Structures are given as structure tokens and as C-alpha cells.
Amino acid sequence: MGNRIFLLSPAHCGGERAKLLFRPEARFELAMQLRTPQGATIGDVFSFLSGLYFRGKMAYARRFANPPANVPGAMVITTNRGLVPAETFVTLKDLLKMGGVDICSEERRYRTPLTKSSKLMLEQIGGECDVVLLGSVASGKYVDILSRIFKEQLLFPSDFVGRGDMSRGGLMLRCADQGNELAYVPVHGAVRHGQRPPKLGKRTYPTMKLQ
């Protein structure tokens, strides 16, 4: 099996779920962690903000990443800090700053750090490591920047075409549960739009054997 890392598209930092984290009276664990100097991991925070979709991406990346030595297997795309490891700690102040920057390839505050961190990542992984984008390829908001840097190394799951966010999240959770990795195709030249596939069946969970 060759080396493979995953790039996870971000959660929205300015939605209704984000407002729950900023409420002074919030007492659930994640909100309390974000008020500490250390904060909480961006993987946990975005899993809360995005729900099923990001939880699917995290579970899938953890199951199937095979990064080169000393390279994280799951990197999260952010609005203002480029690529950061999923285990990076963030605070409420960090989230507030992220929520103030649009994800648009023409937005300098988004484009510049993503370009810089992607080039650094390419230097670390070399030319033989697959870079799989777990996010939308239907628009250019990620692809326009990432494809210029990673070129043919940038792949995405072909089963993502035509699916909405929730369907992708459910698909990735099922794959992580069952150990079935999706097929990947290069972003460059791929069909990035398509008909919506059939709805996923009910998720099943691995059975536990009694000792």
C-alpha cells in the first residue's frame, strides 16, 4: 500500500451550531474546553459544527491514512491558516477569526496561507504520496488552489460525484466501519458533476463477539 494523506474540507464557523459554542452559559464539555488556554482539537470542534459530514471525514481518514514518516494523515483546510493537522488545538478566539474569512480562491486571507502550507506539505511528502481531498470538487474553492500545487497527486473519491454532504458523511462512516476503502480518481480531468446516486441503506454496525 502506498502512502496516502487526506485533506478535509472545513466546517462552517459562523452557523447556528457555532453560536452554541460562543454562548457564555454553555456548559457542555466541548464549549468548556474551548474556553481554556489550550482549547480543543479542530477535528473535534469541526465534528461538532458539521455533524455527520465531518465525523465521516475524520473516521475515514483515521481508518485509511498511510502517511509518510512524521507527516499527519489528516490535514484540515481552514479559512485563514491553510492546512493544519486534525489534532491542532484551537480556542474560541481562533474560531471567531476563522468565521470572519470567506472560503473563496480570490480571498487573499484564505488563498495565501492555503497555498503556502500546501507547498510545504508537498515538500514533506514528496512526489509519490497520494493526496485525497475529502470535500467538494464541484466548485473551485478548494480545487483551484490545491490542484495547482499537488497536480496529479490530488485525488478524490469518485463516489462523491452527485452526493450531498450528508450522503458523503454517511458513506464514509460506513466505509470506516467495514474497512472498505473507496476508489479514488485524479481531480484533474475528472467528471466533477453528476446525477444523485441512490440513497444509502441503513447503517449497520460491526457485531461484537461475546467471550
| Nearest-angstrom CA–CA distance, 64 and 43 | 16
- Computed on alpha carbons and rounded to an integer, the radius of gyration of the chain in Å comes to 17
* Structure confidence by residue, pLDDT tens digits, 122-176: 999 999 999 999 998 888 899 999 999 999 999 999 999 888 899 999 999 999 9
Res. 210 pLDDT band, cuts 50 70 90: very low
pLDDT band at residue 208 under the 50/70/90 scheme: very low
d(CA 78, CA 110): 8
